[in-house]
Structure 1
C-alpha cells in the first residue's frame, strides 16, 4: 500500500486483555450482573453478527444503508469534507458509500482491531487511487487522538452503536468529540428509532435463533480468554423492551442455580435460578432527544434523514 497507508497504535498490546479483565470483574460483581457488549466480537461473534444483519427481523443495517445510499450526495454537498474520520470502523463496509460521494483526500478509520484496519485499508487503497488512509488503533470510549488532516472534516459514527452507550457514557463520549474537530466540521451519526415493541423485540430475538447464539457466544469468549467455565446451554437468551428508558435489553438468564469460576480473575460467581446477566442495552431515539444531546455537546443538528419506513435515522450535525 506504500505511502498511501499508515497506521498508528494508541493502545498498548495488552490493552484489550486488561480491559476485558477489568470490565468482567466489575460487571460480574455488580448488581445487576453485566458484561459490556463489546466482548461479543471474537471471530465467531463477528460471523454471527454478519448473519444477524441479513435476517429479515433485523432492519437497522439495511435501513442505514438505504439512507446513506440515498443521501450520500447531500452529505457531500453539505459538508465539503476533505477528511472522513470513522469511529469503530471495523470493515469500513458502509463507509465505501460515503467515500464514493465525498471523494475526500484522507480517510481516518479508528478501531481497536489492527487486523480489521489493515484488511479494510487494503481494499480501500486499491479502490480509491487518490485516497490516503491514516488508520488509528484506538478505543473511542477512552482518550483518543487523531492525526492532523485537511479540513473540513466529517466524523462518522454509524451502525446505531451510539445506542449501546448508557446515557452517562453517551454524554461523556459526545462531550469529547469537539476536541477532535474544529468549528465548522461535521458529525454524522446513525440512530435506531423508537417504534412498536413487537418490531424491536423481534430484531433482537429472531425466529432462527441466530441472535441467541450470538448472545451465548459471549460466554465462550469469557471461557477462552479468561479461563471461565460457563456452560452456555445453562443460560437462555432474553430480549426485552424497557418502555420507560426506551431501550432494548439483551440478557442471559440462568437456568437453575449455578456457580461459575473465572480462573484468571480468581473469581467465583454465583447465579440464582432465573437470575439475569445483562449483555447489552440498545437505546432507541427520537429526533428531539438526538438534537438535545448533540446541542449539549456543542453540535447543531443540520439534517435528519430516515429510511422510507421511518425505522432508523442518520443525523448530520455541525460543530458550533
Structure 2
C-alpha cells in the first residue's frame, strides 16, 4: 500500500498526561463525566464504523445523501485547492467531496486530521492509492488543539462532518468554531454537518441500538483508561444508557454502575467510588435547528452560503464562508 506522511502532534506521553488530567477532573466531579474523544483508540474507531452501518443509526446515511446530492455544488462554490477533514475516521463519505473537487479540477491536497493514528493511517493510505495525483498528508492530532498546524494550500475548505460538532457544550462549540475561523483566511470555507432535532424515539434508538454495538463503544472508554492508566474498571459492571434531554435538545450517553464500586486508577493516583446506579456521562450529542446553526456560525465569523438537508430533513449540512472579523 502507498506510504503516506503523517504529522504527529500527539506523543504517547502527552496523550497519557491529557487522559490523566481528564480522568482526574471528570471522575472527581460531583456529577462524573469523561470526554468522548477517549472512545477512539483502534478498537473504538472500529466500533464506531460498525455503528455507522447499523439500521438505527441514520446520521451517516442522511449526511451521505446530502453530500451525494451537493458535493458538486461544494466544489463549484469553493474551488478549493485543499480539503481538510477534522475527525476524519475512515474518510468514507469524504470520497464524495474528493470526487467532486477532483472533477472540478482544483483539488491539490487532502489533509485528514484524527486522534486515532491507526484509523487515520489506513484511510489516508487508501485515499492516496485511489487518488494518485493528490497530495495526502495525515495529521495525528486533536482538532481542539492543533488546527493552527494544518498544512495545505489556499483556498481551503474545512469539513467537519458526522454531527461531531454536537459533542461540544454550547460554550465549547463557540470556542471551537471561532478557532476554526481564526486559522482560515477571509473567503475560505467551512462545511459543517449537524444532526437536527427530531422525534426522541428515533434519537434514542440511534444511540442505543438493539445489537448493543453502541454499548460496547460507550464502555470502550473504560478499557482505554485501564490500558493507559492501569485502572481496574470492569466494563461488565456498567450499563449503557442513552436518553433525550428535551431542555438542552441533546442526547446524553452515560455509563451506570450496576452496584457500588471502588475503582483504582494508579496512573492517575486516584481511587474512584461509585454508588449503585451512579452515572458517568460519556457524551452529549446536541441536535440543532437551522436558525440556531446560522446564528452560531455568524457569531464565530462565518457567513452561511448554502444549507442542505436530506429528503427526510433529519440532517443538515451547511457551507459557510469566513468573513472579516
TM-score by length of 2: 0.93
Change (3 A) 1:71 1:150: same
Which position in structure 2 is the counterpart of 1:112? 115
1:1-320 alignment, distance < 5 Å:
5-103=4-102, 104-320=107-323
The CA distance in 1 between the partners of 2:139 and 2:224, in whole Å, is 25
Question: How far has the Cα of 1:53 moved from its partner?
Answer: 1.2
- With 231-240 and 107-116 compared, the bigger mean Cα shift is at 107-116
Rounded Cα–Cα distance in structure 2 between residues aligned with 1:68 and 1:167: 26
Against the structure 1 CA distance between its residues 56 and 113, is the aligned structure 2 distance closer, same or farther, given a 3 Å change threshold? closer
Whether contact under 8 Å (1:5, 1:132) holds in the other structure is: no
Q: 1:174 to 1:273 in 2, by over 3 A?
A: same
The answer to whether the Cα contact below 8 Å between 1:234 and 1:255 also exists between their aligned partners in 2 is yes
Q: Secondary structure at the match of 1:145?
A: helix
Displacement of 1:68 after TM fit?
Answer: 0.7
Alpha-carbon distance between aligned partners in 1 of 2:100 and 2:23, rounded to the nearest angstrom: 41
CA distance in 1, matches of 2:222, 2:8: 28
Answer yes or no: is the 8 Å Cα contact 1:49–1:214 preserved in 2. yes
Provide the rounded CA distance (Å) in 1 between the counterparts of 2:138 and 2:284.
29
- The Cα offsets for residues 200-219 of structure 1, whole Å up to 9 and x where unpaired, read as 11111112222122212222
1:48 to partner: Cα distance? 2.0
Shift >6 Å, 4+ stretches:
none
Residue 41 of structure 1, CA deviation: 1.8
CA deviation vs aligned residue, 1:141-174 (integer Å, no higher than 9, x gap): 1143245533221110011111111111111111
Distance 1:233 1:115 in 2: 26
Residue segments in structure 2 that go unaligned for 5+ positions in a row: none
Q: What SS is found at the alignment partner of 2:148? A: coil
For residues 208 and 90 of structure 1, do their structure 2 counterparts lie closer, same or farther at Cα, with a shift above 3 Å needed?
A: closer
Unaligned runs of 5+ in 1: none
Aligned with 1:14: secondary structure? helix
Counterpart secondary structure, 1:244: coil
How far, CA to CA, are the matches of 2:143 and 2:151 in structure 1?
17
Contact kept? 1:34, 1:277, Cα under 8 Å: yes
CA–CA distance in 2 between the matches of 1:261 and 1:67? 46
